[in-house]
Structure 1
Amino acid sequence: MASSGSGQPIPAKKPSGSGGYGHDFASSLAASFRASSPLAQEVLARDLAEYTDSDSGVDDYDEIHPAAGGSGNDDEDDDDDDERGPTLYRRPSGIAFGTIRPSLGLGAGLDDPLLTRAERTRSRDAERSLLRDNHLLPPKHHHRTTQPTGVVRSLYTRLFSTKVPQRTSDAEAPPQIIVEPSETQPLLGTATTPHRTAREHDEHLNQQWEAAVAAGQIKTTWQREAKTIAVYSRSLIITFLLQYSLNVASIFAVGRLGTLELGAVSLATMTANITCYAPIQGLATSLDTLCAQAYGSGHKTLVGLQLQRMTYFLLLLLIPISAIWLKAEPILATMIEADSAKLAADYLRITLLGAPAYALFEGGKRFVQAQGLFHATTYVLLIAAPANIVMNWLFVWHLGWGYVGAPVAVAVTQNMLPVLLFLYVWKVDGSQAWGGFKWAALRNWGPMIRLALPGMIMVVAEWFAFEILTLASGRIGVSSLAAQSVLVTVTSTTFQIPFPLSIAGSTRVANLIGAKLVDAAKTSAYVTVVGGVIVGLFNVTLLASLRYQIPLLFTQDAEVVELVARTLPVCAIMQLFDGMAAVSHGLLRGIGRQEFGGYANLVCYYLVALPISFGLGFGLDWRLPGLWIGVTLGLLLVSIVEYWFIYQSDWDLVAKEAENRNAAG
């Protein structure tokens, strides 16, 4: 994986001492929705008050970031890293990998932790490239002609060149900034280049960049933004598909057993999502803030302390969840057919063996992300996802375990995830932020819980709006429940494309807003919206044209295939609005207004979509198509409301707020 969106402008107020903040802030629900709310700062302030610098693991930058290429003896250069820190790169975070639909947490803001050398270099390259595209620096390749020759080359340049068109009048042309590091000299210096030279190069680039921004000379093109967002999205799409394959494999394996088994898997997954996975992921999103702020403060072992504290809390939460899962059969039997309830309860009892590992992995994922190690979870999934597919085939079919084999494969895979991540941290990178087990992890839970609860509420609310359709379809009949399982799997799989796109757009818009490039941010937003529409239309075409072929991948039951084929056109239309809504969520996050998106989701889903779904599905007896029409209309309404809000927002004010908060931070 590589990335996700994080850079929205959020207030960053530094603690003035070791004590906490005023209760008026701490008790504010709105403030607690913010990554940099005083609740997060209160947790860090309390922890810092309990430890000396040596206890907290305060070291110089290179010891905190050994993988960044530092040698540990560059203190003089590292002292002012923050002062000359990048303005065009923000770490992605705040992603809750849903077993059905991933969702954006309410995580970190612009006050991100210290970046590694590789990340700072990436930012420098982005700044230098933008200056070249605006003709403020000499071209990188001097041998290339500035004017295209020939019709083909002219058309190619017009379509794919990232350079801003030059003004026709020399009088209007911006003055070129000629002070630049030599292309033949490494940015960080070499054995033959004085170390201070690289530092001076950075200072020159800062001066060039700030001068160009102040003069309003930095523009961007749709070609550059399309290229940037595509690069941001590609690894995310791979990671999300790998993550989602852990559930799709079970659906594929069980679907061939029969209609009853297929519906039971969908029902069990829905119950697990609402009662366990969504609460755990929602609570864990608070670590996007807590771990990141602890790491950015330089107290690296406090990252491990935050991980321990949240892990203990999540494991305690699993006690009542376990009681519910062990008694799930009589509870489910009151709502759906008894045979489906029994199979679903069996699934839950077996997957309960993997629930503690699931909680460990969710916390561990935030632990490595806070250190900038975003590829760690991708490497883990590259091993776990293929192994999960093999185990589903082995347990369900080869060994003849049947239905029971699917939850066994899920439990084994969930236990693999934290083990593989632990091996990565131990043998590759990330162990520097682990300070060992501490008794302090059993204290200071109050602010952490208050910070985590809003994230849990938003994630659970978003998931429940979709999962409730599964429960409703179970009241129609066994075949409808099986068809619903196929529909949810298909639409959730296609969602793995627009959602990464929204994260990429969120990240890019937030970066440009943070760099005070409002016009460029708007251009990037337009490109992201167009990308969302294109992806949505692709999904529409795919589902509509293959509506009779897709269900055959899951089941051979003629009745289920017919139900799916009859409902897929509605789901196909939903794809367009789903992609647009995903992008609008990302843009709201990019401009720091994600709270509005949370409220819009709640209103549109629960006051509009679900009532329409039940009215059409049961009142007019339209059944599954009626249920999905309500959700489609809800997504359309969400898109309209959020795009209207984005259009009406004062982006210049957003940029000014981000500038003030960065200065205060």
Structure 2
Amino acid sequence: MASPSPAKPIRSGQLWKTRSRSSLFSSSAPLVEASVAVDMEEESDSDPENPMENDGSDDESDSDLETLRQATSGTSLGRSMVGSYRRPSFTIAGSRATVATAPQRSMRALSKNDRREARREERSLLRDNNLIPPKHPRNGDGSETLGRRASRLLSVPGILGENQKSKHQSEADEAAIGDSTSPRETSPLLGDPELPYGGQDNHKNLEIKWEEAVLEGKIQTTWQREAKVLGRYSGPLVLTFLLQYSLTVASIFTVGHIGKVELGAVSLASMTANITGYAVYQGLATSLDTLCAQAYGSGRKKLVGLQTQRMVYFLWSITIPIGIIWLCADKILMKIVPEKDVAILAGRYLKIVLIGAPGYATFESAKRYLQAQGLFSASLYVLLICAPLNALMNWLFVWKFKLGFTGAPIAVAVTDNLLPILLILYVRFVAGRHCWPGLTKRALHNWVPMIRLALPGLVMVEAECLAFEILTLAASYFSTTHLAAQSVLSTLTCITFQIPFPISIAASTRIANLIGATLASAAKVSARVAGFAAIAVGLFNVILLSSLRNYIPQLFTNDADVIALVAKILPLCAAFQLFDALAACCNGILRGLGRQEVGGYVQLFCYYVVAMPISMGTAFGLGWGLEGLWAGVAIALGLVAVIEGVFLSRVDWERSVEDARSRNERS
């Protein structure tokens, strides 16, 4: 494998902040810098004795803080994977979940968990390539004696695991390891076989061995290792996506058994809420991915909370026009949708859901406040509580308390307000509190940079959501039965999408890490593994939907006409599941290569230039009905998979590494 010149080694921590962006976002960095500079100046004026926030709650050492600053400022120190490990910054919880590329260049600083994960990956790759000894001490013939293994497993650390050690014990172990690798008169030349990794497991030693191995092209990987990493990364993401989407599915499940009019109404209401409300909040909040990251990386941690507070106020002000639209939704929808009963029920749904809109806006902002600090698990913990509660409340309000259709939006509104409350409790009692400055009037000004950063994100999110929501609106022109069937079909295809899409996110993270570490051959192996995983998941979805096409619709509704229509069209939806999974995988690989603009342009072209004309032409022009609407989507997804697949088959992976290195040097 070709290696770049050792004179200017690239540190993979630069990759996250130097992935290529479209020209639309090329001016975002100066906006961020100007905004943060104004906040810093005001903060210095208000507290000249404390120019750098440090309340003592952050236990990072000075060296760790210096590493953090270097990672965000563009300083190149080596080819370590420290800094390259990243999780997706946010997800879109609409009828078609997606990840929008945030308009940014400078991302958040590294947390201690990030560095720990990256070092673990380095150590594991070095071990697998026989560049450091194995983790567990072995005797001379390469196997561990039964007595020694029993002693190790029955010891307190063996029973509790490494993660259960006390902080002092861990520090003592690291100090012991560090001492063991320092040359002494009595030190073994090849390390101490009685210690894990032969006593070579300290940061300085690993960094030296890693850079030597990368320069000499000794770091290789296997499909088994990449499959394991892909599974470890994607597992929590799949759970998170399914839980988040279940907040929408719960209403469809419960309301669908009331009648097909109610099922069509909840689908139409969800579509309207996504386009005019939730997607707006999610798109505008993307600016926090940049602003909070820059503030955290600068060391002014209170500015993270200030930016979040500013966004909350902004989104609350946006709720006023959103609320006007939702309050008048029944009258607006009656002008658009031919089914008046459906429009009236959808309007009632939106009037009630409006109660939870400010809470949802707060949740979107608070989520990014925690993610800027590397606290990605907080949202998962909250969803683990809220998702089951949401399903329970839907059942209670709709059936137990006899509220009928009205019970579903009440459950949604309660859940939307519960989400931010639980996140706030997480900040107060678990982690993230040291970045909160308290309520301040400073959050009421300096909004212009934030808004300018937020608008491109809004455009991207709306473009993704609108393409699939148009199908729901079009289905309402056939009949209530068709609208109800469209609701079921859309929900099913979105549920199946929650598996390949998180896998694509995990693949993009892994490939970005390897490209950033200049390991092009390993990145190609990871991409192939992701491709095979996408094919397996796609085939599983095809078999699942096609074989159970007569049974799955019964979970959503009792209406015989709706069940028959869904069962008729479900094989078509099953047929493009393979293309859907492959398209998601290709997009993930493109993001990992820093070529996400290719996927964005391809998808916009296929959705709006290909899918929409074909769908409308076949559905209304040729009279195919609902089958025609989904035919256009199937063709578009197949085209996306083919175009992106051909592009990836011809991409120069070594060139991608060189591009990443050159972008790092210019940053």
Aligned counterpart, 1:512:
514
The equivalent position to 1:610 in structure 2, one of 612, 621, 624, is: 612
The equivalent position to 1:39 in structure 2, one of 9, 31, 35, is: 31
CA displacement at 1:31 relative to structure 2: 4.3
Aligned counterpart, 1:162:
none
CA displacement at 1:369 relative to structure 2: 0.8
Matched residue SS, 1:135: coil
- Give matches, 1:139-218, under 5 Å: 139-143=134-138, 189-190=171-172, 193=175, 201-218=202-219
Aligned counterpart, 1:626:
628
- Give matches, 1:77-96, under 5 Å: 78-80=65-67, 82=70, 86-87=81-82, 89-96=84-91
CA displacement at 1:536 relative to structure 2: 0.7
CA displacement at 1:90 relative to structure 2: 1.9
Aligned counterpart, 2:265:
264
The equivalent position to 1:538 in structure 2, one of 534, 537, 540, is: 540
Q: Is the 8 A contact 1:7 1:108 kept in 2?
A: no
Aligned counterpart, 2:18:
11
Aligned counterpart, 1:323:
324
- Give matches, 1:89-168, under 5 Å: 89-107=84-102, 112-143=107-138
CA displacement at 1:112 relative to structure 2: 4.2
| Distance 1:649-1:198 versus aligned 2 partners, 3 A rule | farther
CA displacement at 1:250 relative to structure 2: 0.6
Q: Does 1:484 align with 2:486?
A: yes
Cα distance between partner residues in 1 of 2:223 and 2:620: 47
Cα distance between partner residues in 2 of 1:322 and 1:109: 30
Matched residue SS, 1:52: helix
- Give matches, 1:619-658, under 5 Å: 619-658=621-660
Matched residue SS, 1:92: coil
TM-align CA RMSD: 2.8
CA displacement at 1:298 relative to structure 2: 1.0
Matching residue's letter, 1:625? E
| Distance 1:495-1:549 versus aligned 2 partners, 3 A rule | same
| Distance 1:80-1:287 versus aligned 2 partners, 3 A rule | closer
Aligned counterpart, 2:287:
286
Cα distance between partner residues in 1 of 2:14 and 2:368: 16
Matched residue SS, 2:576: helix
- Give matches, 1:556-567, under 5 Å: 556-567=558-569
Return 5+ residue gaps in structure 1 as ranges. Answer: 1-5, 14-28, 149-184
**What count of residue pairs does the alignment treat as equivalent?**
602
Q: Summarize deviations over 1:609-632 as a string: whole Å, max 9, x none.
A: 011011111111111111111001
CA displacement at 1:314 relative to structure 2: 1.3
Matched residue SS, 2:482: helix
Matched residue SS, 1:193: helix
CA displacement at 1:400 relative to structure 2: 0.3
Q: Is the 8 A contact 2:108 2:292 kept in 1?
A: no
Aligned counterpart, 1:246:
247
Aligned counterpart, 1:427:
429
Cα distance between partner residues in 1 of 2:360 and 2:324: 17
Matched residue SS, 2:428: helix
Cα distance between partner residues in 2 of 1:328 and 1:487: 24
Matching residue's letter, 2:116? T
Moved more, 47-56 or 228-237: 47-56
Q: Summarize deviations over 1:10-62 as a string: whole Å, max 9, x none.
A: 4399xxxxxxxxxxxxxxx94453697333333223322333295787346x9
Aligned counterpart, 1:50:
42
Cα distance between partner residues in 2 of 1:123 and 1:312: 36
| Distance 1:12-1:590 versus aligned 2 partners, 3 A rule | closer
Moved more, 315-324 or 564-573: 315-324
Q: Is the 8 A contact 2:82 2:114 kept in 1?
A: no
CA displacement at 1:86 relative to structure 2: 4.5
Q: Summarize deviations over 1:422-476 as a string: whole Å, max 9, x none.
A: 0110111111111122333222222222221111111111111001000000000
| Distance 1:197-1:37 versus aligned 2 partners, 3 A rule | farther
Matching residue's letter, 1:278? A
* Residue identity (%): 52
- Give matches, 1:433-448, under 5 Å: 433-448=435-450
CA displacement at 1:486 relative to structure 2: 0.6
CA displacement at 1:198 relative to structure 2: 10
The equivalent position to 2:457 in structure 1, one of 455, 458, 480, is: 455
| Distance 1:589-1:414 versus aligned 2 partners, 3 A rule | same
Q: Is the 8 A contact 1:265 1:344 kept in 2?
A: yes
Aligned counterpart, 1:303:
304
| Distance 1:530-1:221 versus aligned 2 partners, 3 A rule | same
The equivalent position to 1:346 in structure 2, one of 341, 348, 366, is: 348
Q: Is the 8 A contact 1:384 1:416 kept in 2?
A: yes
CA displacement at 1:278 relative to structure 2: 1.0
Matching residue's letter, 2:655? L
The equivalent position to 1:75 in structure 2, one of 62, 73, 80, is: 62
CA displacement at 1:521 relative to structure 2: 0.8
Cα distance between partner residues in 1 of 2:656 and 2:29: 18
Q: Does 1:548 align with 2:535?
A: no
Matched residue SS, 2:322: helix
Cα distance between partner residues in 2 of 1:544 and 1:191: 55
Cα distance between partner residues in 2 of 1:326 and 1:540: 41
Moved more, 129-138 or 91-100: 91-100
Q: Is the 8 A contact 2:106 2:293 kept in 1?
A: no
Cα distance between partner residues in 2 of 1:356 and 1:145: 65
Q: Is the 8 A contact 1:95 1:103 kept in 2?
A: no
CA displacement at 1:80 relative to structure 2: 4.7
Q: Is the 8 A contact 1:12 1:662 kept in 2?
A: no
Cα distance between partner residues in 1 of 2:140 and 2:585: 38
Cα distance between partner residues in 2 of 1:490 and 1:8: 36
Q: Does 1:418 align with 2:420?
A: yes
CA displacement at 1:481 relative to structure 2: 0.4
Q: Is the 8 A contact 1:9 1:591 kept in 2?
A: no
Q: Is the 8 A contact 2:283 2:454 kept in 1?
A: yes
| Distance 1:30-1:38 versus aligned 2 partners, 3 A rule | farther
Q: Is the 8 A contact 2:280 2:462 kept in 1?
A: yes
| Distance 1:249-1:622 versus aligned 2 partners, 3 A rule | same
Q: Is the 8 A contact 2:287 2:454 kept in 1?
A: yes
Moved more, 478-487 or 116-125: 116-125
Matched residue SS, 1:334: helix
Q: Is the 8 A contact 2:292 2:372 kept in 1?
A: yes
The equivalent position to 2:382 in structure 1, one of 380, 383, 391, is: 380
Matched residue SS, 1:51: helix
Matching residue's letter, 2:328? K
CA displacement at 1:265 relative to structure 2: 0.4
Return 5+ residue gaps in structure 2 as ranges. Answer: 1-12, 71-76, 144-166, 183-201
Cα distance between partner residues in 2 of 1:97 and 1:307: 18
Cα distance between partner residues in 2 of 1:7 and 1:553: 48
Cα distance between partner residues in 2 of 1:95 and 1:79: 27
Cα distance between partner residues in 1 of 2:380 and 2:274: 22
| Distance 1:322-1:192 versus aligned 2 partners, 3 A rule | closer
Q: Summarize deviations over 1:106-148 as a string: whole Å, max 9, x none.
A: 1387854333333322221210110111121122235389999
Cα distance between partner residues in 1 of 2:609 and 2:524: 32
Q: Is the 8 A contact 1:236 1:500 kept in 2?
A: yes
CA displacement at 1:649 relative to structure 2: 2.9
Cα distance between partner residues in 1 of 2:103 and 2:627: 39
Cα distance between partner residues in 2 of 1:102 and 1:34: 26
| Distance 1:197-1:463 versus aligned 2 partners, 3 A rule | farther
Cα distance between partner residues in 2 of 1:340 and 1:493: 24
CA displacement at 1:294 relative to structure 2: 1.3
Aligned counterpart, 1:226:
227
Moved more, 116-125 or 139-148: 139-148
Q: Is the 8 A contact 1:35 1:108 kept in 2?
A: no
Moved more, 185-194 or 359-368: 185-194
| Distance 1:128-1:59 versus aligned 2 partners, 3 A rule | same
